[in-house]
Structure 1
C-alpha cells in the first residue's frame, strides 16, 4: 500500500503525475521510484504512453478505494478520449470497460500510434507554465499539449515548446520535469495553424461518448464540393487521392501529412475515411481544415448541402431552355456529366437533348422567321444575358410557351365563368 500519491491536476499527463510522486518521495534516482511503485515489473513500465496502460491499474490497486479513479486516469490524464473519437460508441464503451476490468489494452492501442514511430518529445506552453506556478506552485505536463499535430496552446494561442530528451531511452526510462523557465511565448502563427489548433481542441474536448454521425455523410459532401472527386466516378463518388494528398501537403507541409496519413493515401484508405473507419482523429482534423468545414460537421446529424445538387435544381426550376453546352457551362461541369448527375440527383433534363425520340405531334417541323429592329434585338440580347440564355430560338420559345400558357389559363377561367353564369 502506498502511503501517499499526488492528487492529479486538471488535464495532467499520467507520466507527469508519476514525476511529481518522485519529487515528493525524496528518492535520489528515478529507478528507485519505479522500483517502489512497480515492484513486480522488471525494467520500466510504459509510462511515456499517452494511452491508458497497466501502470495506472497497478498504482490504483495500491491506493485506498476511491483515492484514485481508474476511469478518470483514462479519460482525463491520457489521450484515450481523443484517440477513440472516431470509434463507434459501442466499441468505445467496450474498450473503456475492459480497461476498468484490468485488461492490458496496449495490444489494442497499437493502431493509434503505429504511424508515429518514435515517441514525440513532451511539450509545454510558456504561458500555462507561469499560470501553473501561480496556482499550484509548480508547472506540470498538460495532456492536451502532447497531441502531436497540435501547433499552438489552445488557451493562449502561443507556440508549444518541445523539451529535448536527455538521451535516446524511452520517456518512461528517464525523469523529464517540465521546465520552470521557458523561453518567452511566441504568438506568431499562420491561419492554418490557428484553424488546426481549433479543430484539434474541439475534438479533444468533446464528451467521450461522442462519435461521428454515419448518416450525414458530410465528409463525402465536402470532398465533392471541393472538387476532389475522381473524373468519371460520379455515381461511385471515388476520391482523387493523389490530388487530395498533394493539397494536404501544400497546406500543412510534408512532415505532418506523412506522420498522419503515411507516404500516400490509397483508394482503400479513402473509402475507409469516407465511412469513418479510420480511427486517427488527427487525419479528420487536417481534412476539416483543408475543406474549410467546422469539426462539428463530422458529428452532427444535420447534412451539409451538396452544392452541385442545389445549383442543378435551381436551374431546372427556372423553366428556361438551355443548350447542353450552356447548361454544363453554368454548372461548371462537362457536357457528358450532365445526364449522370441528373440521374443521380433525380432531376429531369432541362436542356435540349438532340436525337431524343418524340411523338409526331411533338415534332418541331415548322420554322418561323422574325425580324427585329436594332432596339428590339438589343433588348432581347440584354434579356438573354440576364437570364443565361445564348440561343435566340430558345429565348423566343420561352416567351411563346410562357405567354401561351398564361393565355390558356385565362381563356379556361373565362369559359368556366361564362358557363357558371
Structure 2
C-alpha cells in the first residue's frame, strides 16, 4: 500500500522536459539566436540542452569593433573575449573577418581568440575579407599584414580538431610559408580547404611543397581566385604522372593562365573525383577570356570515371558542342548538371539521352571490357536529380515536355533567373 502510494505521488515528466524533445526543437532553431537565447533562460534543464546549439556557430563579424584605445599588440583583450572563452568548448564553427572597420588595422581576431587551446571541439573556421568596407572606403588594394598571418597560423596550430578551413580574400596575397606549413602538418583531421585570393609561384620551393602537402590531405578543395605562376620545374611531385591530390573528391577551380590550367589538369587526374565546379565567386577580378575550349579538352581527356556532379560557370558560357563532348566523356551518369546561361542545345540534349559503353570513353578498353554490364554507362537522363538550365536560350518546349516524361529521378529543374524559382512543382504535375 505504501509502495503504491509513493509511486503514484511521483511527479510525471512533462514532454517538453524530455532531452529528445529539446534536441528536436533545437534542430529547427539553428541560427535563430534570439529564440535559442530565450530557451536557455527557461530553466536549468533547458539551459543545459539549448546552450550548446546557441554557441555552436559563432560569427565574430557581428562582434563590435575594437575599442579605439585597445592595442592587440600589447596583449590587451577584447571585452567579449572572457564570455567567448567561457563557452569555447561548445563552439564548433567560427566565422571571422580579416579586417575591422579600419581597413588598415589588425582586426579583432587575436584579442578574441587568444587561447585557442580552449576550442577543443572546433570543426570549421571561416575567415574572409570585409569587402563591403573596402568599397565604402574606396580602397583599391588592402594589404593583410604579415603579423596577422602569423596570428592565424598560431591559432590554427592549436586547433587540431579542425575539419574545414575557409580563407577568402578579395586580393591576391603571397601566403607566408608558416600558414601553408601549419595547414599541412598541424591539422590531421582537415577534410575541406577553401583558399581564395592566394598567389603561388616557384620562387620558394618550400612554400610550394607545403602547398602540395596541404592540398593532398583534403577531400574537398576550392582554389577559386588562386593565381599560380611558374611552379618549380624540378619538383618530382609536380612532374610525376601520379595523381597530385589522391584523396580529392570535390573540386572547385577557376583559372586562365597556362600554369593555372596545368594545375587544373593535375587535379583532374584524381580517380575518385565525384564533384567538379568550374566557377568563380569573383567575376569582377577577371577580364573576359575564351578558355572554354581548353577547359573542355582537359575535362574530356581526363576521362572522369566517377564524376556525378558537374557545374560549369555561366560567366564564360560553354558552347553546345563543348557540353556534349564533356557529357559523352564521363564514365558515370550524372546526378546533377548545372550549365546556366550556356549554349545548351540539341547536341547537349542528345548527350543527356544516350548512354555508351566504356569503349567510347576509354579507347584503351578492350572488347571484352566493353561487353561487361558494369562498364556500360546509363544515360544521364536516367539518374539526373538536379538540372540547371537557367537562361539557356536554346531550350525548347519539346525538351521540357520530354524532361517531364523521361527523367524519372529529376527533383529540381531550374529555368529562370529568379532566386526562389524552380519548376519542381511543374515536374510533379
TM-score, normalised with respect to structure 1: 0.22
Select the structure with the greater relative contact order (CA < 8 A; seq sep ≥ 6): 1
Going by fraction, where is helix more abundant, 1 or 2? 1
What is the TM-score with the length of structure 2 in the denominator?
0.22
